[in-house]
Amino acid sequence: MPSSSIPIAAAPASLWTALLWFIVVIAMIPVVLWLLKRSPLTGMGGQHTQGLPRTVAVMPLSAQQKLVTIEVGQGEDRVWLVLGVTPHSVQTVHTMAPLQPGIPAPGTPAPTAGTTFAQLLGRIRQHPGAK
């Protein structure tokens, strides 16, 4: 009577090989996801891809409404769009030139060298409606 098609001595070796490949595939999943996250092809990488809109700020107004500021264009043609976003529509609220990094927005008091976070927080708590 013939024995099984897999020899007894080979079964443990094939089991270890299969287990090794399983571990390799499982270990590669986070590595591939990490590489995709940093890839400029996905638009989520560390580099800003040219020509794609960039989210500048998001301010939730309610559970389903928010104001979103995005930057579109390149170089001197860059424009910031302030959009009102609801589940049913997206509307342009305002269009403005992009602010330079380090320059405070108009109407925002510029912090002085001696201003601490606690002082700024106290100023906001005293005047909650003021900018």
Q: pLDDT band for 86, please (50, 70, 90 cuts).
A: very high
The C-alpha R_g of the chain, in whole angstroms, comes to 28
Alpha carbons 85 and 63: distance in angstroms, whole number: 11
Residue 86 lies in a domain: yes
- Please calculate the CA angle 95-97-128 and round it to the nearest 5 degrees: 75
Residue 87 lies in a domain: yes
CA 127 to chain centre: 32
The per-residue pLDDT for range 39-70, each reduced to its tens digit, is: 766 655 455 556 678 888 888 888 899 999 99
Same domain for 65 and 30: no
Q: Is the CB of residue 91 less than 8 Å from the CB of residue 83?
A: yes
Same domain for 17 and 5: yes
pLDDT for the residue 131: 53
- Which domain covers residue 68, as residue numbers? 51-101
Residue ranges of the alpha helices (H) in the chain? 10-37, 117-126
The per-residue pLDDT for range 17-32, each reduced to its tens digit, is: 999 999 999 999 999 9
Same domain for 35 and 7: yes
Higher pLDDT pick, 11 / 97: 97
Same domain for 40 and 2: yes
pTM listed for this prediction: 0.43
